[in-house]
């Protein structure tokens, strides 16, 4: 009897110590984006000691949440449930192990097990979630295309209607569909302006106060012609997605555009009119000289102003600055080639004959290096450590070398500085001229991501120094007795080889650049100008100032470039995309052709001059 009572008491104690885990009576149904509570509880509170609660997906055993050692363990959650699944921690001591799941997604549907371990006992229940398939994620844009003038601000509409609150949206993105360019991004309840394409950076913004209302419209500032196109607002929420499009069309000409047209027409018209007055009508030499000065300065100043306005409205920084610098300096080259430079007197005449074209090269090189340095800085290629120091030191060195020549050139022009100082600055200026091509390549290597490779070019520097310091007249003619055609032919072949090596290295450094064609056109023009200057320092020459070449440089180039600028502006306004993309390809190519004509006149002067004299003699005989 006593033994039977002991067994009965033991069984009763086991039953009393056991527990049953309860769950819901049926599946839970909730809409996307909402919060749902998964019930899990016991009838009597359990001691917190040795208590462990696990929530897992039944189909994959994925750990949804864990309570252990008296506290929840969020670090053990599977990533999809982090910050979405939460215990009611303060109620666990009462035997409530329910779980709240926020921002319900379509993939959350399925069965979940709540397993409770307490000392040597355990129990579980199963909870099923059914996601309400009636989704409400509607995105609306604008039914009509938007018209705007270039330079104005415009708002592109995107309104979201959903049962999911905007702060629980996974992502909202604006893209320009025809180019697949990211315009603006909203993700994890934050805006990421740095993720925008460089064309739109600092020009786009959400209306932050409107986002909680589901309004994801954005403002596009200072509209450009390339902004024309189709924009898509795409929303991802609760595992679903929807989108709407907005068309930015019919971009009108702004006041800046009209000013560019007026300046271009005025530049080309004044160039043609002045050319006709000079060469098609008989006037006095004094009048012709004044008209020549107008022809040299007036059209180029107008083109300079047109490129300034182009830069404000459309062009990129590098494109605009380069073209503006070229047209600001073009009169220097034209002064050197003008047929009436003998009308100048004193220091001005000497400076025009010997230093004007050299000043253009030096000053434009300074502008080129400044643009190059800015490009490297914008591309975040500011190297750390030794390489970063090298690129800054070299940039400063190049600008100082250019500054030395500018001081020397101004000293010669003014004529009030002592000869000794002029001589010192002249020596420094010549060193600057000799080393600039090599430094240019090294800087290109650094600026476009090939820093270490740039030092290979240092080995080529002595070759350039030898070429530029070699006096071909004295050595070839005086010591070797070479005829002018022979020594000029040898010099031309040698310079072609040197420039081929230089251009090869230039192209190598720029092979991964998006706007490499524009950069190469600039560099080839600078190199052709360097070759012209090198020739004038290597030979005693009498420059043939031929009217056709001068007219091409002063009139044809201006007309060609003004037409190119107007055409590019019209096409970008009408189609949203220009014909050439980068105006440097047209501007510097035409300038290179003009410089090439000058090189032909310099190098082949011994052959061209007799031909011209024979033609003149034959015409006199006929008369």
pLDDT digit string, tens, across residues 75-87: 889 888 888 899 9
Please answer whether residues 310 and 262 qualify as being in contact, where contact means their C-beta atoms are separated by less than 8 angstroms.
no
Which of the 8 DSSP states describes residue 335?
Answer: H
Phi, psi (deg, nearest 5) at residue 459: -65, -20
Question: Is the distance from CB of 261 to CB of 566 less than 8 angstroms?
Answer: yes
| 85 in Cβ contact with 64 (< 8 Å) | yes
Whole-number CA gyration radius for the chain = 39
Question: What distance in Å separates the CA atoms of residue 487 and residue 464, rounded to the nearest whole number?
Answer: 18
Cβ pair 81, 110 in contact under 8 A: no
Among residues 467, 598, 464, 460, which one has the least CA distance to residue 528?
A: 598
The rounded distance, in Å, linking the Cα atoms of 326 and 531 is 18
Question: Quick one: CA dihedral 380, 381, 382, 383, positive or negative?
Answer: positive
Angstrom distance (rounded) from CA 623 to CA 237: 91
Cβ 539 vs Cβ 492: under 8 Å: no
Q: Residue 599 corresponds to which tokens in the numbers above? A: 């090189």
Q: 390-406 burial by CB neighbour count: b if 16+ within 10 A, else e?
A: bbeebbeebeebbebbb
Per-residue pLDDT, 41 = 92
Domain 20-132 is in which class? mainly beta
Contact between residue 338 and residue 353 where contact means Cβ atoms under 8 Å apart: no
Distance CA 69, CA 87 (A): 14
Domain boundaries, the chain: 20-132, 137-252, 253-339+545-580
The CB density around residue 5, as the number of other CB atoms within 10 Å, is 9
Q: Measure the CA–CA gap between 444 and 446, rounded to whole angstroms.
A: 5
The terminus-to-terminus CA distance of the chain in angstroms comes to: 158
| pTM value > 0.75 | no
Instruction: Identify the pLDDT of residue 3.
Output: 43
Closest CA to 36 of 126, 132, 114: 132
Answer for the pair 539, 472: CB distance below 8 angstroms, yes or no: yes
| Domains 20-132 and 137-252 are alike in CATH topology | yes
The pLDDT of residue 480 is 59
pLDDT at 475: 58
pLDDT at 184: 93
Task: Please report, for residues 487, 537, 602, the alpha-carbon distance to residue 473 in angstroms, rounded to integers and kept in the order given.
Answer: 8, 10, 14
Whole-number Å distance between alpha carbons of 205 and 285: 62
Q: What is the model's pLDDT at position 103?
A: 81
State the fold for domain 137-252. Immunoglobulin-like (2.60.40)
pLDDT at 87 (0 to 100):
92
**Are residues 608 and 599 in contact, defined by beta-carbon separation less than 8 angstroms?**
no
Burial of 588-604, coded b for 16+ CB within 10 Å and e otherwise, reads bbbbbbbbebbbebbbb
Which of 485, 465, 468 shows the shortest CA–CA distance to 476?
A: 485
The alpha carbon of 495 is separated from its chain's Cα centroid by a whole number of angstroms, namely 34
How far are the Cα atoms of 173, 400, 440, 527 from residue 461, in angstroms, in the given order? Answer: 51, 19, 11, 15
- Convert 88-119 to b/e letters by CB count within 10 Å (16 or more is b): eeeebeebebbbebebbbeebbeebbbbbebe
pLDDT on residue 558: 95
Region of 417 please: left (phi>0), alpha (psi -120 to 50) or beta: beta
Low-confidence ranges of the chain (pLDDT < 70): 1-18, 132-136, 250-252, 282-283, 315, 340-358, 372-392, 394-395, 398-399, 401-402, 404-419, 421-484, 512, 538-543, 575-578, 613, 616-623
């Amino acid at each position: 009897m006593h033994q039977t009572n002991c067994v009965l008491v033991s069984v009763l104690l086991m039953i009393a110590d056991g527990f049953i885990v309860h769950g819901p009576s049926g599946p839970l149904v909730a809409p996307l984006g909402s919060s749902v509570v998964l019930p899990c509880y016991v009838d009597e509170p359990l001691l917190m000691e040795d208590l462990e609660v696990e929530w897992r997906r039944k189909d994959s055993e994925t750990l949804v949440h864990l309570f252990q050692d008296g506290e929840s363990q969020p670090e053990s959650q599977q990533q999809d449930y982090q910050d979405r699944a939460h215990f009611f921690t303060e109620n666990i001591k009462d035997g409530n192990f329910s779980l709240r799941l926020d921002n319900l997604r379509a993939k959350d549907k399925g069965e979940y097990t709540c397993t409770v371990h307490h000392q040597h006992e355990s129990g579980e229940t199963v909870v099923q979630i059914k996601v309400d398939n009636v989704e409400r994620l509607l995105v609306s844009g604008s039914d009509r295309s938007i018209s705007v003038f270039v330079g104005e601000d415009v708002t592109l509409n995107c309104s979201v209607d959903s049962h999911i609150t905007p702060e629980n949206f996974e992502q909202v993105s604006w893209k320009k569909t025809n180019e697949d360019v990211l315009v603006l991004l909203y993700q994890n309840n934050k805006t990421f302006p740095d993720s925008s394409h460089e064309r739109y950076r600092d020009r786009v913004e959400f209306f932050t106060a409107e986002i909680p209302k589901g309004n994801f419209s954005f403002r596009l500032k200072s509209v450009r012609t390339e902004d024309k196109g189709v924009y898509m607002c795409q929303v991802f929420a609760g595992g679903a997605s929807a989108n709407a499009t907005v068309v930015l069309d019919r971009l009108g000409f702004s006041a800046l555009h009209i000013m560019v047209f007026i300046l271009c027409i005025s530049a080309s018209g004044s160039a043609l009119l002045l050319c006709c007055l000079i060469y098609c009508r008989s006037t006095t030499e004094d009048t012709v000289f004044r008209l020549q000065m107008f022809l040299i300065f007036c059209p180029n100043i107008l083109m300079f102003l047109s490129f300034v306005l182009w830069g404000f409205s459309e062009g990129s920084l590098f494109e605009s600055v380069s073209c503006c610098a070229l047209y600001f300096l073009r009169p220097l080259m034209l002064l050197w080639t003008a047929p009436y430079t003998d009308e100048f007197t004193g220091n001005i005449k000497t400076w025009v004959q010997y230093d004007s074209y050299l000043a253009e090269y030096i000053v434009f090189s300074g502008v080129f290096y400044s643009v190059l340095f800015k490009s490297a800085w914008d591309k975040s290629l500011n190297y750390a450590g030794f390489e970063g120091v090298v690129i800054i030191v070299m940039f400063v060195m190049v600008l100082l070398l250019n500054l030395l020549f500018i001081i020397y050139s101004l000293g010669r022009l003014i004529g009030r500085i002592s000869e000794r100082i002029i001589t010192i600055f002249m020596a420094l200026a010549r060193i600057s001229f000799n080393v600039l091509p090599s430094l240019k390549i090294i800087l290109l290597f650094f600026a476009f991501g090939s820093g270490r490779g740039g030092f290979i070019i240092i080995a080529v520097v002595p070759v350039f120094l030898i070429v530029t310091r070699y006096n071909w007249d004295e050595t070839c003619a005086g010591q070797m007795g070479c005829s002018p055609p022979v020594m000029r032919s040898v010099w031309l072949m040698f310079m072609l080889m040197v420039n081929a090596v230089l251009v090869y290295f230039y192209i190598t450094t720029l092979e991964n650049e998006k706007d490499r064609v524009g950069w190469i056109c600039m560099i080839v023009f600078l190199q052709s100008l360097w070759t012209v200057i090198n020739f004038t320092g290597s030979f005693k020459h009498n420059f043939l100032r031929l009217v056709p070449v001068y007219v091409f440089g002063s009139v044809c180039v201006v007309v060609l470039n003004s037409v190119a600028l107007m055409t590019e502006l019209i096409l970008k306004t009408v189609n949203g995309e220009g014909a050439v993309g980068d105006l440097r390809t047209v501007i510097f190519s035409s300038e290179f052709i003009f410089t090439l004509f000058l090189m032909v006149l310099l190098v082949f002067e011994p052959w061209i001059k007799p031909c011209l004299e024979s033609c003149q003699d034959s015409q006199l005989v006929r008369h």
